[in-house]
Homo-oligomer: A and B are copies of this chain.
Amino acid sequence: MSSTPDAAVLADALSTPRPARSAEVGQAPRTDRGRRTRRRLLDAAAVVFARDGFLDTKITDIAAEAKVSSGTFYNYFETKEAIFTAVIQQTIERLFLAASVPPETDRSPLVRIETATRNYLLAYREHAGLLAILEQVATFNADFREMRREIRQTFRNRTSRGIARMQQQGIVDASLPAQCTAEALTSMVSNFCYVSLVLGEDYDHEEAVRTLTTLWARGIGLDLAGGR
């Protein structure tokens, strides 16, 4: 009576907890109704997160805002983190779109810098609510800190490439380290946005654009003569 095989299987059966959540969750809903509910939850989450912050947001608040039961939430998202990720991702996409500068060659470098700065400020203002929350979450969650870092790097790298290009064209100071310079300038603009739009130090939009543009352009050694 070699019981080992059976017994081993049984011992497993009696105790191994199966993956608690079905594989369904996180998949795209199959019906229109499901898709609508998922969308309602996302919209509700954006509202509640921006209003209450990540920490103070309860799943039930999101569900209530979406007018569904709390159980329904879990049909679509596993955790608060999961829905926050989804919410932030669409925000980021919009942010990138809004903050980009179309490469039109007839613009002068100074105008390009000014346009990039203005677009960034406007885009940040548009999404300040959720970006502030991402900032919050990044302070205690490694995954979101990484996400925040990647967003940051995207902007910094774009800037870095622009500086390198101008250095090759010989129109700005070639001795500046492009990467470090880009980091500093990105810091200047992004943190100015945070301080003014999230913390509430109030500055006139156009004055801010003008000041940041001047500091940026002059800082890297661009010749402003005839410009401003």
Contacts and interface: CB of A to CB of B under 8 A. Distances in A.
Interface stretch (A36-44, A92-100, A104-112, A183-191): A183-191
A13 B132 CA distance: 10
Contacts of A101: none
A152 interface: yes
B142 A15 contact: yes
Contacts of A203: 1, 3, 180, 183
Interface centre among A9, A18, A180 (most CB of B within 10 A): A180
A14 B201 contact: no
Nearest to A200: B7
B10 A197 contact: yes
B139 A132 contact: yes
A208 B16 CA distance: 29
A6 interface: yes
Q: How many copies altogether?
A: 4
Given A132-B13, A218-B218, A219-B216, A121 B200 contact: no
Interface of A: 1-4, 6-11, 13-18, 22, 50-53, 55-56, 58, 60-61, 64, 121, 125, 128-129, 132-133, 135-136, 139-142, 145, 148-149, 152, 173, 176-177, 180-181, 183-185, 187-192, 194-209, 211-212, 214-216, 218-221
The 9 closest A-B pairs by CB, nearest first: A1-B205, A7-B200, A191-B191, A136-B139, A188-B188, A187-B191, A215-B219, A15-B142, A219-B219
Given A6-B129, A10-B132, A187-B189, 14 more contacts: A4-B200, A7-B199, A10-B129, A136-B139, A152-B195, A177-B207, A177-B211, A180-B211, A183-B192, A183-B196, A183-B201, A184-B215, A187-B187, A187-B190
